[in-house]
Structure 1
Amino acid sequence: MPTFVDRAILHVTAGDGGHGCTSVHREKFKPLGGPDGGNGGRGGEVMLRVDPSVTTLLDFHFHPHQRASGGRPGQGSNRHGADGVDLVLSVPDGTVVLSPDGEQIADLVGAGSCLVLARGGRGGRGNASLASARRKAPGFAELGEPGEQLDAVLELKTVADVALVGFPSAGKSSLVSVLSAARPKIADYPFTTLVPNLGVAQAGDLPPYTVADVPGLIPGASTGRGLGLEFLRHIERCSLIVHVLDCATLEPGRDPLTDLDVIEAELAAYSADLSDRPRVVVLNKIDVPDGRDLAELVRPELAARGLAVFAVSSATREGVRALSLALADQVAGHRAAQPPQTATRIVLRPRAVDEADFAVRAHDDGFVVTGAKPLRWVRQTDFTNTEAIGYLSDRLARLGLEAELTRLGAEPGVAVTIGDVTFDWEPHLSGRGAHGPGSAEYEHAALGPRGSDDRLASTVRLTRAQRLARRGGSLETPDGPDKSDGP
C-alpha cells in the first residue's frame, strides 16, 4: 500500500443551493397577508487549505470524490434556508492545482494558504423576494442553482531550501540522516529511496533550513527513465542544489566528474529555470579505501568550474559540520536577497469590462444562446409553473435577447436553445412596446390566477422530448403541444 503520493486527481462537487419557497401568509382576519416564502440557502463550497501537518496527497488517492453539503430550502413565514457547510480539504505545503489539460489554477505555498476550488450554488429566491408592484403575490419561487463540478489535478512540489541530487546509492539518504533528525531508509542497493525525504537541519546560530533527498536520478530521467520524472518536480522550489557524488563506486564508466555532467544534463533537460540555482558539490564516502584519493584528484577540476566542493563521510561524519555551516550560510543569504512576496499564487481571470451578458449564434435550423445570466436564470426556473416561465420570458426580453433574435432574422417558431432547454420562439410573448407585449402593462394584464400566465395558455410548446434533467427526476414532454410549459 502506498504511503506517499505526490500526484492525485480530485473530482469535486460543491453543494446545490436550496429552493425558494412559495407561500402566502394566512391569518384570521387578515385576508391579504401577502407572500412570505423564504429564500433557499447557499450551497457549501469546496476549499483547499495548506496544513503543515499534512505531507502527502494520500487521502485523495483513496478518496478522489469530494462533495460539499447543499443549502436548505426556504420555508413560509419568511424563514430562509440554512447555508450548506463548506468542505475544507487539507493539502501539503507546496501543492500546485492544475486543470485536467495542464493549465495552472493556483500554487499553494505557506501554512493557511487557501483556494476556493468549487463554489456552491446560489439559493433560489422565495416568492416574498420576487414580489413587485405589478406582481404582488407571485405563485412561484426560484429553484436553487446547482453547485460547480470540476476535476482538478493536484501535484506536490516539496518546499525545501536544499535539494540533494545524485545517482542511486550515492549516499544522499545517509547525508540527510546526519544533517538532520530525519531517519530515511538506508541500504546498500540502488533505488532504496522511493519517495523524497525531508529533514530540518540546524547549524550553529544560523536559522534552520530544510533539506530534501530526491530519489536517485539516472541518465534519461527527464524522459521518464528510473524515478527521476516522478520526483524532479521536487527540486523546482529549492534555493540550493547539492550534487552528492559517489567517490567509492565500482561501476564501469562512472566517476565523480562524469556523474556530475550526467545529472546536470538531466536537470537542464527537465527545466531551464534550474540553471540559475547555486550549486554545491559533495564528494561523499571518503572513508572508503581509494575514496579520499579520488576526491583529492577531482577537487581541482571542480573548483576550476567555480563550484564549492566539500569532501565528507556520512559514516564517520568527517566534514559534515563544515558542510552544514556552509549550506546554512548560503540559504540565509538567499532568503535575505529575496523580495517580500505573497506565497500563494492564484491565477485570476476576470471578466472583460466590455463582455456582453449573452451571445446568440445560429446552429442547425435554430439558435443557441450562451451567457452566464441566461443559463443561471434557466437553471433557477421551475418549468412546471407557467407563471415562472412567463417571468423568465420577461427577464430575457429585458436583457435584450428578443431584440438580438429579431436582428439575426429569427422567425416565429424557430428553435431556441438555452442550456438544456429548447423551445419554440414566439415573439409576441416578450416583444417590446408602449402598451404591447413586453411592456409593464402587458405583463401585469397577462397574469392569470396565482401560478399561471395567460400568455402561455395555448401558444408555447416544447420541441424536444426531454426538457431538462433536474434534481428529483426528469421532466418528460410528450409529442405535440405542451400547454403547461413554455420557454
Structure 2
Amino acid sequence: MAIPSFVDRATLRVSGGNGGHGCTSVHREKFKPLGGPDGGNGGNGGSVVLRVDPGLTTLVDYHRQSQRRATNGQPGEGDHKQGANGGDIILAVPEGTVVSDADTGEVLADLVGEGDEIVVAAGGKGGLGNAALATSARKAPGFALLGEEGEQRTILLELKVLADVGLVGFPSAGKSSLIAAISRARPKIADYPFTTLVPNLGVVVAGETTYTVADVPGLIEGASEGRGLGFDFLRHIERCQAIVHVIDCATYEPGRDPVTDLDIIEGELAAHGGLEDRPRLVALNKVDIPDAADLADIVAPEIEARGLKVFRTSTKSSEGLQALTFAMAELVRERRAAQPKAEAQRIVIRPAPVAGTGREFTIRRMGDGQGGFVWRVEGAKPERWVKQTDFTNPEAVGYLADRFTRLGIEDELLRIGAREGDAVAIGAGDDPVVFDFAPQMQSGAELLTRRGDDDRLHSERASVTRRRELDAEYHAAKAAAEGLPRDPKQSWRVDFNEED
C-alpha cells in the first residue's frame, strides 16, 4: 500500500526515557577503607518534545513511524559520579497542529507559532544515590533510590492548515485553477471530479497586503456527515479569516445551478459549525464560456440580495481576478485589525490543589470486612515513593516505611479504623503494592534514627584485630628476650626513665 505524501492526521505513541538508578557505594582508599557513602545520583530520562517547523506541511513522517521513545538516563556510579541525562527527542510538526490525548480526548496544545513547543512525554527523574540520602543520623545508607519510569501516552496529531482565505465549492468548480491564476502555486488541474485530493496553499500579493489562500477539496452534499472528501478537510478552513464560494456556472450536471450549489455548501459549513462569523465572497467562475456568462448575469442579483458580494471570474481570460484578490485582501486587513494584539505571555506557575482531605494522599476502604479490610492509599507522592523503592533491600523498605510515617499515612489509617494485619495497597491502577498493616513497626520505631547506618563504621575489622594480636605477640616475645616488661607501652616508660 502506497503511503500518501500529504497526511493531516496521525496517531503517535510517545514514551519518555526512564531515570537512571542511584548508586550504593562506600568510599575506600589506602588507610581509609570506610570513608563514607559516595554513590552518585542517576541521570534524568529524556523527554519527547513537539516543536513547530514552518517548513513542514504534512504529518507523513508520523504516519510511517508511529512510535517514538527518548533515551534513558544512566545510573549513578561510585566516587560521587552522577549518571548522564537521557537525550530529548525533538519532533518537528507543521504550523497549525493540534495535539490531543488519544485516550481522553483532552486538547494538550494548539501549535500555531514558529518555535512553539510542548513536552508530550516527560522523562523520569533519576534516583538518589546513597551519598545524597546520608544524614547525621543515617551516616552510611546501604541503599539507593530507583529511577522513575518515563511518561507514556498516545497522542493524536491533527493538522489544520493556516490560511487567511479558504476557497470552498463543488468538485471541478475551478478552485485549484483559481489558486494557480492568482499565486505561484501549481496544483494538479484536470477536468474530472476530485482531482484535488489534498488542500493546496498559495500566497497572494494584492497591493501592500500579502495573504495565503487554501482550497478545500471534495465538498459535496453530505460532506459534514462523511460523504466525499470534505469530512476530512472541512477542519482546514476553521482558521481562515474569510471564505470565498467558487461556483461553477458552466456545469452540465442535472439539478445543478449556482444558487442551489451555494445553498448546499452553506448548509455543510453550518453543519460543521464554528464558521458563522467569517465574511463571505462569491466568485461566479468560468464566465469565459458564453452560457456561463449569461447564467452569472441572471443569478448575480439574487445572490447579492443576500448581502454577499459577487465577482464574475474566469481563470482562462483572467476576468475579475484582480478585483477578487483586492476584495479578499480588504477582508483580511479588516479581520487582522479587529483581532487584539498579542501580548507577551507571563508564565505563572500555580500548584494544583490537592483534592480530598487536604493531605497529599487519600485512603479508601475496600472489601466487606471478612478477614480484614483492604485500605487503598492513593496520591502522587506515596505512589512515586513506591516506584523508587528497591523491595529486595530491607533497608530501603524500612526507609519507605519511615517516609510513610512522616507523611501521616499510619496515623490516618489508625484514625479511620485500620487494624493490625489489614492489607494496605498503595498505587494507582490494577497492580498496586500491598503491605500488611503493622502500626509502629519495629523497623521504624527502634531504628528510626539509625536506619541505614553501616555497622562496619563502628566495629573493628577482622584484619585489624589479627594485626593487633600479632603485634602483641611480637612485643611480648621481644620483652621476654630482653627481660623487659611485657607491656610495650610500659617498656617505653622504663627506657625513658632510665635515660633520665
TM-score computed with the length of structure 1 as normaliser: 0.87
Separation of aligned partners in 1, 2:119 and 2:293: 55
Whether contact under 8 Å (1:110, 1:343) holds in the other structure is: no
The alpha carbon displacement at 1:216 in A equals 2.0
- 8 A Cα contact 1:108 1:343, kept in partner: no
1:447 is displaced (CA, Å) by 5.3
Query: Which residue number corresponds to residue 403 of structure 1?
Result: 411
Partner residue, 1:374? 382
Partner residue of 2:438? 426
| In structure 1, distance between residues paired with 2:180 and 2:72 | 48
| Range with bigger deviation, 251-260 or 348-357 | 348-357
Which residue number in structure 2 is paired with residue 335 of structure 1? 336
Question: Residue 236 of structure 2 aligns with which residue?
Answer: 234
Equivalent in the alignment of 2:420:
412
Mapping of 1:462-477 within 5 angstroms?
A: none
Structure 2 partner of 1:8: 10
| Cα distance change, pair 237–350 in 1 and its aligned pair in 2 (3 A) | farther
Q: Which of 96, 102, 106 pairs up with 1:103?
A: 106
Shift of 1:443: 0.9
Deviation at 1:32, TM superposition (A): 4.1
**CA-CA distance at 1:326 after TM superposition:** 1.5
CA drift of 1:448 comes to 7.0
Contact 2:142 2:453 in 1 (8 A): no
Amino acid at match of 2:294: D
1:174 alignment partner in structure 2? 177
Equivalence for 1:477: none
Q: For residues 315-344 of structure 1, what are the alpha-carbon distances to aligned partners after superposition, in whole Å with 9 as ceiling and x for unaligned?
A: 221111111111112212211221123699
User: How far off its partner does 1:446 sit?
Assistant: 5.7
SS at match of 2:403: helix
Q: Distance in 1 between matches of 2:140 and 2:100?
A: 48
Q: Which runs of at least 4 in structure 1 moved beyond 4 Å after TM superposition?
A: 445-451
CA distance in 2 between partners of 1:349 and 1:239 (Å) = 34
Name the CA distance, whole Å, in 2 between partners of 1:202 and 1:450: 81
Q: Partner of 1:264: helix, strand, or coil?
A: helix
Task: Quote the Cα distance in structure 1 between the aligned partners of 2:451 and 2:323.
Answer: 89
Deviations 1:363-406 (A, max 9, x none): 23311111110111011111111000000000011001101111
| AA matched with 1:395 | R
| Equivalent-residue separation in structure 2 for 1:353 and 1:368 (angstroms) | 17
> What's 1:201 paired with?
204
Contact 2:185 2:201 in 1 (8 A): yes
User: How far did residue 179 of structure 1 move?
Assistant: 1.3
User: What is the match of residue 274 of structure 1?
Assistant: 275
**Are the counterparts in 1 of residues 395 and 451 from structure 2 also a CA contact under 8 Å?**
no
Whole-Å separation in 2 of the counterparts to 1:90 and 1:336: 31
> Contact 2:23/2:144 (CA < 8 Å) preserved in 1?
yes
2:161 corresponds to: 158
Aligned equivalents of 1:173 and 1:258: distance in 2?
Answer: 21
- What letter matches 2:198 in structure 1? V
Q: What is the CA RMSD across the aligned residues, in angstroms?
A: 2.1
Q: Are the structure 2 counterparts of residues 95 and 313 from structure 1 closer, same or farther at C-alpha, using a change threshold of 3 Å?
A: same
Preserved contact between residue 140 and residue 453 of structure 2 (Cα < 8 Å) = no
Describe how 1:302-317 pairs up with structure 2 within 5 A.
302-317=303-318
- Residue 450 of structure 1 and its aligned partner are, at CA, apart by 6.4
Structure 2, gaps ≥5 residues long: 368-372, 457-500
Report the structure number with the largest CA radius of gyration. 2
Deviations 1:14-73 (A, max 9, x none): 000011111111111224411111111110010000001111111111111000001111
Aligned to 2:206, the other structure's residue is in SS state coil
The aligned length equals 442
Show the counterpart of 1:69: 71
Q: Distance in 1 between matches of 2:344 and 2:335?
A: 16
- Using the size of structure 2 for normalisation, the TM-score is 0.85
SS at match of 2:209: coil
In 1, the alpha carbon distance for the partners of 2:58 and 2:434 equals: 47
Can you list the C-alpha shifts for 1:227-282, whole angstroms capped at 9, x where unaligned? Answer: 111001001000000000110111111111111111111111111x2001000100
Q: Which residue does 1:290 correspond to in 2?
A: 291
Q: Which residue of 1 aligns with 2:460?
A: none
**Residue 324 of structure 1 corresponds to which residue in structure 2?**
325
CA offsets 1:282-321 (integer angstroms, 9 cap, x no match): 0000011211111111111111111111111012211111
